[in-house]
Amino acid sequence: MPVFGSPDLAIDLGTATTRVAGRRDCISLRPSVSQNIHALNRGVIVNGQATTELLRPMIQKRLRGHLGRLRVLACAPSDVSVLERQMVRSCILEAGASSVITVPEPLAAAVGAGLDIGSKYAKFLVDFGDGVTDCAVIRDGQIVASLAERVGCSDLRQVVQSFAKLTIGIDLPPGEADRLLRTLGLRREGFETCQGLAGGAPVQARLRVADLHEELRPVIDRMLAPVQTLLRTLPASIGAEVIEDGIFLTGGGALLPGMREAVAEQSAIDTRVVPDPIGSVICGARRMLPLAASLDLWKSWGPRGRAVP
């Protein structure tokens, strides 16, 4: 039976995976690729047509059986430019939405992780995504400080693939590179067996973990750098609150073996991985939908997502 009203939707446009969820239905996910064209890179849209084609079937599926207009709450890195944010809105509107608002990914991740973002005491969250490492301090329901670096797990996978090609002459498919990365993480010792192609034929070989770690270290350092930089810029009062409450990790990179320990060692602050680090952003965005509806946040962006003076 058709349903009147707006079937509000949450969207997490990720570098590797795009996730969509309504208020009550299951989370749908697809690789952020359309016809072998990557829609996003380093957390932002690089191909508008591919992004629109990626989102259209996911949005149209939610419109079936509804007579109302579809409103979307979309997530974006905390450092997106005005043009990058407008590209997000334009693609989602073109894909079938009627109105769009964007929220910072760390804020959605904090909600999804169950943190008390309305607390008067600061919460420090780091989202290790596929293309962006996004750090934010949240207090009184808003981000009071943030810093993002356009580097993430995709860079680590590329290093793994390049290392295997140069040292043992094997082409590793992305899935095998990802498996190695998630098995080894920041480990520094031993050997690991991998499978790939050499001259077009399947082969198996062993990688020296210490040598691979040396190649991964510069990228890992870039991922850890914004954490330390943001901590150094915080006022003493907020820094004291962070030290007392700890650092929370979300995103796929939070699950890499040794990443939590590396953040804790560098910051000298207790660090925890939230229960569902990969699903935190989309789950948080979905939980924010009722609040967005009650405040009618879409209204401030007009009927087609444009700001109203």
Look at residue 299 and tell me whether its pLDDT is greater than 70. Answer: no
Range of the domain at 45: 9-107+279-301
Work out the average pLDDT over 289-303: 71
Are residues 269 and 175 part of one domain?
A: yes
Q: Supply 238's token pair.
A: 């907020």
Overall pTM surpassing 0.85 (yes/no): yes
For 26-82, what is each residue's pLDDT tens digit?
899 999 999 999 999 999 999 999 999 999 999 988 877 565 678 999 999 999 999
Question: Are both 167 and 216 inside the same structural domain?
Answer: yes
Task: Specify whether 258 is located in the same domain as 296.
Answer: no
User: In sequence order, what are the residues at sequence separation of 6 or more whose Cβ sits closer than 8 angstroms to the Cβ of residue 126?
Assistant: 133, 134, 135, 227, 247, 248, 249, 250, 251, 254, 263
Domain count along the chain: 2
pLDDT value at residue 306: 43
Instruction: Report the distance separating Cα 10 and Cα 75, nearest Å.
Output: 8
In a domain, 89, yes or no: yes
Averaged pLDDT for residues 234-259: 97
Query: Among residues of the chain, what percentage have pLDDT more than 90?
Result: 85
Please tell me whether residues 123 and 256 are part of one structural domain: yes
Q: Phi/psi class of residue 74: alpha, beta or left (left: φ > 0; alpha: ψ in -120 to 50)?
A: beta
On whether residue 307 sits in a domain, the answer given is: no
Q: What is the domain-level CATH number for residue 223?
A: 3.30.420.40
Are residues 162 and 209 both part of a single domain? yes
pLDDT band at 291 (very low <50, low <70, confident <90, very high): confident
Residue 260 has pLDDT above 90, yes or no: yes
Average pLDDT on 128-132 reads: 96
Per-residue model confidence (pLDDT) at position 24: 83
**pLDDT at position 292:** 84
Which residue is associated with the tokens 């004291």?
240
In a domain, 4, yes or no: no
User: Are the CB atoms for 69 and 254 separated by under 8 Å?
Assistant: no
